[in-house]
Amino acid sequence: MSNIRCTTAQAIVRYLSNQFTEIEGERVPLFPGVFGIFGHGNVTCLGEALEAVQDSLPTWRGQNEQSMGFAAVGFAKAMVRRQIMVVTASIGPGTTNLLTAAGVAHTSRLPLLMLCGDAFARRHPDPVMQQVEHFNDPTQTVNDAFKAVSRYWDRITYPEQILSSLPQAVATLLDPGDCGPAFLGLCQDVQEMAWDFPEAFFAPNIHHIPRPRPDQYLLARAAECLLRAKRPLIIAGGGVRYSQAEDALAHFAAAHNIPIVETIAGKGAFTHDHPMHMGPVGILGSTSANALAGKADVVIAVGTRLMDFVTGSWTVFAPKSQFIAINAARFDANKHFSIPLVCDAREGIVELDNRLHGWQADTAWLERGRQDFAAWNTLIAEKQIRTTNDVPTYAQVVGVVNSIAAPEDYIISAAGGLPGELVKGWKVKNAGTFDCEFGFSCMGYEISAGWGAAMANGKREVFVMIGDGTYMMMNSDIYSSVLSGHKITLLVCDNGGYAVINRLQNAKGGASFNNLLKDCRVKEPFPVDFVAHAKSMGAHARSVSTLDEFEAALKWARSNDRTTVISIVTHPYSWTPGDAWWDVGVPEISARESVNEARKEHEEGRKKQRIGI
């Protein structure tokens, strides 16, 4: 066997450059690019290796390691986990900046490969700059913190270790059940070391994402359960999208008269007007979907981890309803006494369909859902009616953007009040065009994810909707998108601070405190000039005050050739209603009578929770 002598860093880059996948029959790079900020922990070795391949494996420089991680996650979601971006950081604070992005990827089951500098394996120069020393364990560095937010973690202390570690990292990134972030700590002295790597290690490799099938015994149990069902319901989660199981699930639902409701991550698997679609379920859900959930006797949960915002902290579903979980992740499939079908979503749906032999649920059950959904749509339409005298509401702003957006345009949100308004009020016109990162609900994800989504597909408009609080938390990738030429349209709803948390604070009896700027310890609630700030980073920008002006600005933004920011003052107290309960801590005792009353109401809510695991 012939060998190729190169450094560890060069070998890593060469290996990544030879990994491919197929998308719609075309061979494409599995790793189409790298986000990188260089420091002493990665510039001299990994940076040197990346510079040599920049034409085939381009490196993009962001402004913050955390935001680069968000961009990589946003790219992976837009590509439905079929391609993966790499992020490299130096050492110390540059690396720890990535922790939050890794948390997003881990929570949302999205692939992210992180290559970060580490302390010297030989320890001769210890302690090096930015090294955090642990007096009782000299092997530990800040990189160990990533063990809590990684699906795969390794520290490379010898060159030959990458022969096994890199393939395992790639396998984790592509595994439908274990998919999540992979972290490699690259000791600085090991990056420089040359070694004779086997040539076969660098051979081009085309990866195919596996589609595991369900266990036949459990499949039979699930089919028997469903054949007895009178009021079955399907929950479509994010796994439906990642499996590209939309068509199979739509056929299954139509063939058996089973209504479909969607999770936050699953929104966008079906268009709003699909005949089997009944709206979002849970705390950010519709009254139509929640009414169905409350009466369903069998719930088929497809590709969802059943977080509290989907289950209403386990108060949305009937106490004795039986769950059938179709999920590639064993951990998710075995939640809440489900019949666990640990398998690919598409394959599990097809095989369950084959077991039902033409069985159908009562048409009246489906029609009830359609009637409730029609009533919900009427409510949303009323909330989105344009007015001229009042400060625009989130619902009205969402309605205007939705009316302007083309079917292929992409919408992104993550935190604050906009996720609720978008999940409830956005009518998806084309599958796969909605990204609400609510698993980690990470403020600051949105703009960077928009940059990544624009990289994934530059032929459509990418709308990013945020509040003023999120803008202040992380806005630097406005500049990144301008520099790289990946246009986004950023819509800033300025409601004077963290209005949705103020809403929660008030709903649980608390006084308005430290959320809206007027309720914070400030000399005066000075407004930010978002337009001037965005223009200083090279973006086009415009401030509007009415919905008609907002619509005109959206049309103007579409005609622009670079990132465009539109700022509009929005109402801090007006929200689209939702009727699902949420279990969040309320003080047992308080000097405020409103808190004590809220506690009583909360205790009543907890009595409705299903018992589960």
- Is 490 in contact with 498 (CB distance < 8 Å)? no
- CA within 13 Å, CB half, 349: 27
Residue pLDDT, tens place only, 189-209: 999 999 999 999 999 999 999
Q: Which of 193, 114, 121, 126 shows the shortest CA–CA distance to 151?
A: 114
Q: What percent of the chain is modeled with pLDDT above 70?
A: 100
Is residue 356 located within the same domain as residue 391? no
DSSP 3-state of 563: coil
Task: Give the end of a domain, one of 375, 407, 439.
Answer: 375
Say which residue, 130 or 500, is predicted with more confidence: 500
Cis peptide before 181 (omega within 30 of 0): no
Give 130's contacts (C-beta < 8 A, 6+ positions apart).
Answer: 41, 90, 91, 92, 93, 94
- CA within 13 Å, CB half, 536: 7
User: Of the given ranges (142-151, 268-277, 454-463, 522-531), which has the lowest mean pLDDT?
Assistant: 522-531
Q: How many CB atoms lie under 10 A from the CB of residue 315?
A: 23
Q: What confidence score (pLDDT) does residue 157 get?
A: 98
Q: How many CB atoms lie under 10 A from the CB of residue 5?
A: 10
CA dihedral 104, 108, 110, 114 (to 10 degrees): 20
- Is 136 in contact with 166 (CB distance < 8 Å)? no
Residue range(s) defining the domain that contains residue 487: 384-569
What gap in Å lies between CA 352 and CA 357, rounded to an integer?
A: 10
Residue pLDDT, tens place only, 108-162: 999 999 999 999 989 888 888 888 888 998 999 999 999 999 999 999 999 999 9
The mean predicted confidence, pLDDT, of the chain is 96
Instruction: Report phi then psi at 102, rounded to 5.
Output: -65, -35
Q: Which of 396, 450, 499 shows the shortest CA–CA distance to 72?
A: 450
Q: What confidence score (pLDDT) does residue 108 get?
A: 97
Is residue 501 located within the same domain as residue 556? yes
Is residue 237 located within the same domain as residue 114? no
Give 54's contacts (C-beta < 8 A, 6+ positions apart).
Answer: none
Which residues lie across from 298 on neighbouring strands?
232, 322
Is residue 397 located within the same domain as residue 468? yes
81: left (phi over 0), alpha (psi -120 to 50) or beta: left
Here the CATH number for the domain that contains residue 533 is 3.40.50.970
DSSP-derived pairing of the beta strands 434-436 and 410-413:
parallel
Domain-located, residue 511? yes
Work out the pLDDT band at 21, boundaries 50, 70, 90: very high
Task: Give the end of a domain, one of 375, 393, 423.
Answer: 375
Residue pLDDT, tens place only, 403-446: 999 999 999 999 999 999 999 999 999 999 999 999 999 999 99
Q: What confidence score (pLDDT) does residue 131 get?
A: 83
Domain-located, residue 602? no
Q: What confidence score (pLDDT) does residue 427 get?
A: 98
* pLDDT of 1 over the 80 cut: no
Helices (H), 92-215: 93-96, 99-107, 162-174, 188-192
Is residue 354 located within the same domain as residue 288? yes
Is residue 196 located within the same domain as residue 277? no
Domain-located, residue 362? yes
What gap in Å lies between CA 382 and CA 392, rounded to an integer?
A: 14
Q: Which of 226, 301, 320, 227 shows the shortest CA–CA distance to 261?
A: 301
* pLDDT of 612 over the 80 cut: no
Does the CA dihedral 487-488-489-490 come out positive or negative? negative
Residue pLDDT, tens place only, 285-325: 999 999 999 999 999 999 999 999 999 999 999 999 999 99
Is residue 229 located within the same domain as residue 367? yes
Is residue 139 located within the same domain as residue 13? yes
Domain-located, residue 71? yes
Q: What confidence score (pLDDT) does residue 184 get?
A: 98
Domain-located, residue 588? no
Q: What confidence score (pLDDT) does residue 613 get?
A: 53
Q: What is the mean pLDDT of residues 253-262?
A: 98
Counting Cβ atoms within 10 Å, is residue 204 exposed (0-12), middle (13-18) or buried (19+)? exposed
Q: What confidence score (pLDDT) does residue 20 get?
A: 98
Is residue 409 located within the same domain as residue 283? no
Residue pLDDT, tens place only, 557-570: 999 999 999 999 99
Q: What confidence score (pLDDT) does residue 526 get?
A: 87
| Maximal C-alpha separation, the chain | 79
Amino acid identity, position 258: I
Instruction: Give the CA angle between residues 359, 266, 463 to the nearest 5°.
Output: 145
- Is 260 in contact with 251 (CB distance < 8 Å)? no
Q: Rg of the chain over CA atoms, in angstroms?
A: 25
Residue pLDDT, tens place only, 581-595: 999 999 999 999 999
Amino acid identity, position 143: N
- CA within 13 Å, CB half, 215: 12
Is residue 346 located within the same domain as residue 477? no
Q: What is the mean pLDDT of residues 364-392?
A: 95
Domain-located, residue 578? no
Task: Give the end of a domain, one of 207, 236, 258.
Answer: 207
SS3 assignment for 69-95: HHHHHHHHHHCCCCCCCEEEECCCHHH
Task: Specify the number of domains making up the chain.
Answer: 3
Q: What confidence score (pLDDT) does residue 389 get?
A: 80
Is residue 225 located within the same domain as residue 292? yes
Q: What is the mean pLDDT of residues 321-348?
A: 97
Q: Which residue has the tokens 């640990």?
A: 342
Here the CATH number for the domain that contains residue 271 is 3.40.50.1220
Domain-located, residue 288? yes
DSSP string, 218-254: HHHHHHHHHHT-SSEEEEE-HHHHHTT-HHHHHHHHH
Q: Which residue has the tokens 């956005």?
A: 426
Domain-located, residue 118? yes
What gap in Å lies between CA 532 and CA 423, rounded to an integer?
A: 31
Q: Which of 193, 156, 159, 188 shows the shortest CA–CA distance to 41?
A: 188
Helices (H), 432-467: 445-456
Which residues lie across from 492 on neighbouring strands?
466, 567
Is residue 494 located within the same domain as residue 424? yes
What gap in Å lies between CA 239 and CA 108, rounded to an integer?
A: 10
